[in-house]
Structure 1
Amino acid sequence: MPIRPILRYPHPGLKTVCAPVSSFDSALSEFADDLLQTMRAAPGVGITAAHVGVFRRLTVLELDKADGVRIYANPEITWFSDETMVHLEGSVSMPGATDEVIRPRAVRFRYQDLHGHQHEEEATGFLAICIQHEVDQLDGIFWLQRLSRLKRDRLIRKWEKTKS
């Protein structure tokens, strides 16, 4: 259960579209556990395989301890609500940088569990935001791309100053 190194923005891997998970075996379960430990150490509430340089469609969420860990292989959003909400977002690949992003308030999505079984769920509020954020990352869309150019440029300049 090692903590894996996280790719840091602007690593080109963060723009990579991830391939589907095709093998649902003990190695996948072990990797999911590595992702969980890496996310907790970051700290964060969500992480994808892409964040650690493994370009497969796997994400781990732990919004709070009471709700437990959620692991999604090959997640795909099938419906977005028309109603939106504003939420403060950031990334384990860009620690300390946050900004408000507007996203649909609810989504319906399908995914596979670690055994390869198909599921479909609806999510609202914070969970819906997190699902969208992580699916974007699996699609090679880093969260900054959801900001206006002005907000994005300002945030990048501020973040680069904190790194040096």
Structure 2
Amino acid sequence: MKVLYLGEETLRQPSKPVEHIDDSLHELIREMFITMDTDKGIGLAAPQVGKNIRLFIVKIDDGVERVFINPLIVGTSEKQCSYEEGCLSIPKMYADVIRPESVTVQYQDINGRRKTIEATGLLARVIQHEYDHLEGILFIDRLSEKERDELVAKFAQQQERKKQREAKKRARA
């Protein structure tokens, strides 16, 4: 399963609700966890793998695999905090992002049960980051215009160098 990078249209589209929780969705979730673990991520949203549905997964340092289907953020704290974020869709690029310190989210779990949790700390941060993906928002959209432009330019340079290295490898083969 391939993670889409900045520039892919799917990353900028609001996602549609998950209609059916079935074996094919369970398989997608399984593949997403494998991809996230392989890429050393702590969260992954379905749009990042080309699926325009309201689904994301999280596995932070506690090792618990969390699945959020049709999530809805219903509350956030007034207190905000800044924390460095990165994204599998913009690899090796990081910036400080200000977000609410805690969040309350309603969602369905992998079995379709409706749940509500209040999350704080890193879990709250990752939930908000992945939820943004479902709205077509990337963490760079939460930066100042100057910061965003600099980061996008660095990413474009990184991708160009990567293409050049791959072209050299193919030429030698």
| Same fold flag (TM > 0.5) | yes
Contact 1:25 1:114 in 2 (8 A): no
Residue 107 of structure 1 deviates from its aligned partner by 0.6
Aligned partners of 1:145 and 1:95: how far apart in 2?
A: 16
| 1:111 matched residue in structure 2 | 107
Structure with a larger share of its residues in helix: 2
- The number of aligned residues is 160
> What secondary structure, in the 3-state scheme, does the structure 1 residue paired with 2:88 have?
coil
> What secondary structure, in the 3-state scheme, does the structure 2 residue paired with 1:115 have?
coil
Q: Which of 39, 46, 58 does residue 43 from structure 2 map onto?
A: 46
Identity %: 35
Mark the structure with the bigger radius of gyration. 2
Q: Which of 142, 150, 154 does residue 150 from structure 2 map onto?
A: 154
Aligned partners of 1:162 and 1:77: how far apart in 2?
A: 34
Residue 72 of structure 1 deviates from its aligned partner by 0.6
The amino acid of 1:7's aligned partner reads L
Once the two structures are superposed, what CA deviation does each residue of 1:21-59 show, in whole Å capped at 9, x if it has no partner?
111111111110000001111121000110010001111
Extract structure 1 runs of 4+ deviating beyond 3 A. Answer: none
Aligned partners of 2:103 and 2:109: how far apart in 1?
A: 18
| 1:28 matched residue in structure 2 | 25
Aligned partners of 1:67 and 1:79: how far apart in 2?
A: 25
Aligned partners of 1:8 and 1:162: how far apart in 2?
A: 12
The reply on whether 1:124 has 2:120 as its aligned counterpart is yes
Q: With structure 1 as the length reference, what TM-score do the two structures score?
A: 0.95
For structure 1, the 5+ residue unaligned runs are none
Aligned partners of 2:37 and 2:13: how far apart in 1?
A: 23
> What secondary structure, in the 3-state scheme, does the structure 2 residue paired with 1:121 have?
strand
For structure 2, the 5+ residue unaligned runs are 161-173
Aligned partners of 2:29 and 2:73: how far apart in 1?
A: 21
RMSD: 0.9
Contact 1:85 1:102 in 2 (8 A): yes
